[in-house]
């Protein structure tokens, strides 16, 4: 069977699953195990029509949930779809180890000036054991990064627009690559505290809410001029503009063209709904549930997130390995602040 015919058959089957309900389902039904084929089909269609040209890192994000018999094939299989894979370093090479392949790819991205695109995907629990600055592209789960978080004021931004000064250095005899990069210390962590997790369905959030209330209670004046109530509302969800529901099913549905991707923004009375004591309607309960699911999704992107206070009076969420006295640094470019 021709690939395009196969892809059309998948689309028809999934549309059939969702037909006959008279309206669009809140949770559309999906064919089990169809997501890899759907992702590939949508990428091929977009490439053929010239609508979008996907870079290699974007393709790795899109196909993160897919698997391959050989780890390196998860990388090599995407080269034909990538718009930026023409360099010799990307050529399939089955004689090299997975470590050698990913280090070669990463070094190429650094030379291009894409270092921040690597770092925002890497970090504690998200990188290869042999190298903390290279994202673990070949593992079977979705890479988490706050750089793509849909905040009310745009994506997270820290630094100038110039490419950072960076180079990859090989350590003698070990075969490991060390990244050297210039940055600027901007603040220091003075305390950290753990936050209880929210239940997977978003219904049991009382412990998490109590933790945030207690931890933000110390705020009387904030460096940016925001009120305590504003910080309490925005901090748990990373100031998200709308709900982010990042269950496995949500990621799989992202490739379905029959799903309405326009999610409504938060209601104007979100503060009262989440932190007030008014009696809520079933629809308002759903909004609050989505708020706390969004909070959990945001914390999941920050590698075992913990609450922190800083020397300059700020409060925030940082990776779980952060300690008192650890400095936050700004790297010269964009999307994401990193600690040292």
Nearest to 332 by CA among 118, 160, 217: 160
Cα-based distances in Å from 99 to 92, 124, 128, 247, 255? 14, 18, 9, 30, 30
* Range picked from 59-68, 156-165, 214-223 for highest mean pLDDT: 214-223
- Residue 340 vs residue 149, higher pLDDT: 149
Instruction: State the alpha helices, DSSP H only, in 69-227.
Output: 71-76, 98-112, 115-119, 206-216
Confirm whether 307 is domain-assigned. Answer: yes
The domain total for the chain is 1
Domain range for 224: 185-245+266-339
Confirm whether 295 is domain-assigned. Answer: yes
Nearest to 301 by CA among 61, 113, 123, 174: 123
H helix or E strand, kind and range, residue 59: helix 56-62
Opening angle at CA 251, ends 20 and 34, nearest 5: 60
Confirm whether 251 is domain-assigned. Answer: no
Confirm whether 282 is domain-assigned. Answer: yes
Confirm whether 144 is domain-assigned. Answer: no
- Could you list the beta-strand ranges (E) of the chain: 127-128, 131-135, 166-170, 177-181, 183-193, 306-310, 315-318, 327-331, 338-339
Note the pLDDT of residue 35: 72
Q: How confident is the model at residue 36 (pLDDT cuts 50, 70, 90)?
A: confident
Confirm whether 206 is domain-assigned. Answer: yes
Nearest to 243 by CA among 230, 271, 262, 229: 262
Q: How confident is the model at residue 161 (pLDDT cuts 50, 70, 90)?
A: low
Structural contact between residues 294 and 240, judged by C-beta atoms closer than 8 angstroms: yes
Confirm whether 108 is domain-assigned. Answer: no
Q: How are beta strands 327-331 and 338-339 bridged, if at all? A: antiparallel
Confirm whether 19 is domain-assigned. Answer: no
**Rounded distance, CA 338 to CA 340, Å?**
7
Average pLDDT over residues 165-192: 79
């Amino acid at each position: 069977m021709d690939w395009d015919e196969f892809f059309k058959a998948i689309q028809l089957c999934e549309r059939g699953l969702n037909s006959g309900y008279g309206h669009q389902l809140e949770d559309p039904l999906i064919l089990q195990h169809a997501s890899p084929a759907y992702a590939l089909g949508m990428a091929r269609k977009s490439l053929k029509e010239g609508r979008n040209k996907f870079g290699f890192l974007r393709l790795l994000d899109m196909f993160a949930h897919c698997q391959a018999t050989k780890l390196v094939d998860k990388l090599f299989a995407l080269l034909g779809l990538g718009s930026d894979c023409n360099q010799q370093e990307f050529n399939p090479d089955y004689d090299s180890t997975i470590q050698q392949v990913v280090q070669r790819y990463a070094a190429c991205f650094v030379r291009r000036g894409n270092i921040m695109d690597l770092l925002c995907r890497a970090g504690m629990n998200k990188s290869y054991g042999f190298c903390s600055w290279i994202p673990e592209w070949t593992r079977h789960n979705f890479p988490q990064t706050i750089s793509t978080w849909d905040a009310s004021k745009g994506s997270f931004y820290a630094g100038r627009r110039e490419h950072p000064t960076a180079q990859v250095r090989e350590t003698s005899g070990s075969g490991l690559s060390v990244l050297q990069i210039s940055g600027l210390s901007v603040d220091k962590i003075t305390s950290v505290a753990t936050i209880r997790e929210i239940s997977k369905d978003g219904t049991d959030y009382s412990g998490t809410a109590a933790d945030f209330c207690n931890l933000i209670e110390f705020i009387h004046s904030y460096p940016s001029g925001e009120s305590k109530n504003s910080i309490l509302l925005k901090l748990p969800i990373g100031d998200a503009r709308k709900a982010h529901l990042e269950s496995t099913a949500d990621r799989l549905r992202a490739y379905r063209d029959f799903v309405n991707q326009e999610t409504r923004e938060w209601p104007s009375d979100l503060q009262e709904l989440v932190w007030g004591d008014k009696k809520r309607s079933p629809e308002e309960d759903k909004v609050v549930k989505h708020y706390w699911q969004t909070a959990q999704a945001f914390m999941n992107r920050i590698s075992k997130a913990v609450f922190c206070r800083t020397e300059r009076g700020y409060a925030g969420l940082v990776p779980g390995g952060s300690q008192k006295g650890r400095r936050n640094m700004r790297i010269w470019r964009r999307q994401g602040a990193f600690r040292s």
